[in-house]
Amino acid sequence: MFGKPLVSTLIPLGIVFVSGALGMFLQKIVLARLRRISEKSAASWADILTRSLKGLIFLWTLLFGLAIALKAAPLKPDLARPLGQALIILAIFSATHFLARAVSAYIVLGLGRIAGFPVSIFPTLTAFVIYTLGLLIILDYLKISITPLITALGVGGLAVALALQDTLSNLFSGLHILATRKVRPGDYIKLEPNVEGYIRDITWRNTTIEALAGNLIIIPNSKLATGILTNFDLPASDSAVLVDFGVAYKTDLRRCEEVIGEVAKDIMARVPGGMPTFTPFVRFHTFGDFAIRGTIILRGGRFVDRYLIKHELVKSLHERFAREGIEIPLPARTVQIRKNEE
Phi, psi at 134, each rounded to 5°: -60, -40
**Residue 224 parent element (H or E):** helix 221-226
SS3 272: coil
The full set of domain ranges for the chain reads 4-144, 174-231, 239-324
b/e burial code for range 298-334 (CB count within 10 A of at least 16 → b):
bbbbebebbebbbebbeebbeeebeeeebeebeeeee
Q: Would you state the pLDDT for residue 317?
A: 94
Laid out side by side, the sheet with 292-300 consists of 239-247, 292-300, 281-287
Those residues whose C-beta lies under 8 Å from the C-beta of residue 293, and which sit 6 or more positions away, are 244, 245, 246, 284, 285, 286, 287
Nearest by Cα to 260 from 239, 243, 277, 274: 243
Laid out side by side, the sheet with 195-202 consists of 216-220, 206-210, 195-202, 188-191, 229-231
Say how far apart CA 202 and CA 173 lie, in whole Å: 10
Say how far apart CA 264 and CA 199 lie, in whole Å: 31
Q: What is the dihedral of CA 66, 142, 103, 52, to 10 degrees?
A: -20
Q: Would you state the pLDDT for residue 1?
A: 44
Q: Would you state the pLDDT for residue 266?
A: 93
Say how far apart CA 225 and CA 178 lie, in whole Å: 10
Nearest by Cα to 134 from 88, 180, 172, 168: 88
Q: How do the pLDDT tens digits run along the chain, 342 residues long?
A: 444 555 566 777 788 888 888 888 888 888 888 888 877 766 577 777 888 888 888 888 888 888 888 887 777 777 778 888 888 889 899 999 888 888 887 777 665 554 445 456 677 778 888 888 888 888 888 887 766 666 666 655 555 555 566 777 777 787 777 777 778 888 888 888 888 899 888 887 888 899 888 889 998 888 888 888 888 888 888 889 999 999 999 999 999 999 999 999 999 999 999 999 999 999 999 998 889 999 999 999 888 899 999 999 999 999 999 999 999 888 776 677 777 655
Domain made up of 174-231: CATH architecture: Roll (2.30)
Say how far apart CA 293 and CA 287 lie, in whole Å: 6
Nearest by Cα to 280 from 296, 295, 302: 296
CATH topology match: 174-231 vs 239-324:
no
SS3 228: coil
Domain made up of 239-324: CATH architecture: 2-Layer Sandwich (3.30)
The model carries a pTM of 0.56
